[in-house]
Structure 1
Amino acid sequence: MLQVAGFLDNSTVNGKGLRSVLFVSGCKHNCIGCHNKDMQNFNYGDKVSLDYIFNRIQHNVPLISGVTFSGGEPFEQAEQLTILAKKIKDEDLNLWCYTGYTYEEILRSNDKHKLNLLKHIDVLIDGKFNKSLKEDVPKYVGSTNQRIINVKESLKSEKIIIL
């Protein structure tokens, strides 16, 4: 079961292409100016089965090209999201994920669940939202300190590859 804050069947603003978006509950980052403030509460929303979420995603195929995990903080529910991520990848969908953690923090965490989730993500938008850096931001990020990272290439080359 996941604690879910919301779900969009299709969106064009949460990653490249038409995608389904899963918003999970719970976040410890407490970014000033967060636009999903309610979702920081770990009890916000509803407990939802992985099967229910996956069925909704499958219902949107072939219209969608991928799925985005957002929040809250997806890496706070990494174990369950990894199970869902594997199913998403089996459907040949790409997976984007927004996180307040940096790529380096995830790698250094030595948290097997966070590391497993990272391995299934195609594109990671990393870093805490910084309200003072929100001017002239690239598409798909909230502040200029955030990066759009090609995870597969970054893991393979052992250096960060920015899209």
Structure 2
Amino acid sequence: MNILYTYSETIVDGEGIRYSIYFAGCPHNCKGCHNPSGRDPKAGKPLTDEMLTQIISEINNNPLLDGITLSGGDPFYDPKGILPVIKRLKAETGLSIWCYTGYLYEDLKLRPDSCAVLDYIDVLVDGPFIESKYLPTLSFKGSTNQRILDLSKYKQH
């Protein structure tokens, strides 16, 4: 699993001040994608345990942060790879996690490997970017078909 880049403080990737991690790899090929370099799963740098430890340290040392956002690419490009990452982020920071994906929530729920990841996500922004439905005034999404789903209210733990 590769990381394209991180933003230590951003206000455009979810509510509040967030630490955003952009992962490489995306199968959706959305026309007008804001991050086409994220399609290649080999782009960026391999995520190592040391790098993840550093990211967690940066997050925990910033009292201004309200949460973490996973984007890309598409974090669900490799759900088995993202699972141990999201588990550590949740356990070691305790912050809310937003995740952007081009998949629909209903489709992710049908895939056991994706269901495990969904358990650690508080807010899911789902659906592919559709250029003809682009609206620049939308908060936290690019096109009107995308949904912001509060998964935290469905948590069992």
> Could you state the TM-score of these two structures normalised by the residue count of structure 2?
0.89
Give how far 1:58 is off: 2.6
Q: Deviation digits for residues 83-123 of structure 1, max 9, x if unmatched?
A: 12222222210000000000011012x2x321111111000
Which structure 2 residues correspond to residues 37-76 of structure 1 after superposition, within 5 A?
37-61=36-60, 62-76=63-77
Cα deviation, residue 155, structure 1: 6.2
2:41 is matched by which residue type in structure 1? F
Unaligned runs of 5+ in 1: 157-163
Percent same amino acid at aligned positions? Answer: 33
Q: Distance in 2 between matches of 1:130 and 1:44?
A: 23
Q: 1:87 to 1:74 in 2, by over 3 A?
A: same
Q: Is the 8 A contact 1:9 1:57 kept in 2?
A: no
Unaligned segments of structure 2, at least 5 residues: none
CA distance 1:101–1:59, change in 2 (3 Å)? same
C-alpha RMSD over aligned residues: 1.6
Matched residue of 2:109: which SS? Answer: helix
After superposition, the Cα gap between the structure-2 partners of 1:89 and 1:119, relative to the gap in structure 1 and judged at 3 Å, is: same
Identify the match of residue 102 of structure 2 among 100, 103, 107: 100
Q: What is the SS of the residue equivalent to 1:120? A: coil
Q: Distance in 2 between matches of 1:105 and 1:15?
A: 22
Alpha-carbon deviation of 1:152? 2.8
Write out the 4+ residue segments of structure 1 that deviate beyond 6 Å after TM superposition.
Answer: none
Q: Secondary structure at the match of 2:80?
A: helix
Q: Report how far residue 28 of structure 1 moved.
A: 0.6
- 1:115-126 matched pairs, under 5 angstroms: 115-126=115-126
Q: Is the 8 A contact 2:136 2:142 kept in 1?
A: no
Change (3 A) 1:144 1:137: farther
AA of the residue aligned to 2:11 = T
Q: Distance between the aligned counterparts of 2:131 and 2:13, measured in 1? A: 19
Distance in 2 between the 1:85 and 1:26 partners?
16
For these two proteins, the number of residue pairs brought into alignment is 153
Q: Does the Cα contact within 8 Å between 1:25 and 1:41 map onto a contact in 2?
A: yes
**Within 2, Cα distance between the matches of 1:142 and 1:104?**
20
- State the match for 2:25 in structure 1: 26
* Contact kept? 1:6, 1:23, Cα under 8 Å: yes
Structure 2 equivalent of residue 160 of structure 1: none
Equivalent AA in structure 2 for residue 124 of structure 1: L
Question: Normalising by structure 1, what TM-score?
Answer: 0.86
Q: Corresponding residue for 1:81?
A: 82
Map 1:140-159; keep pairs closer than 5 Å.
Answer: 140-154=140-154
Amino acid at match of 1:116: A
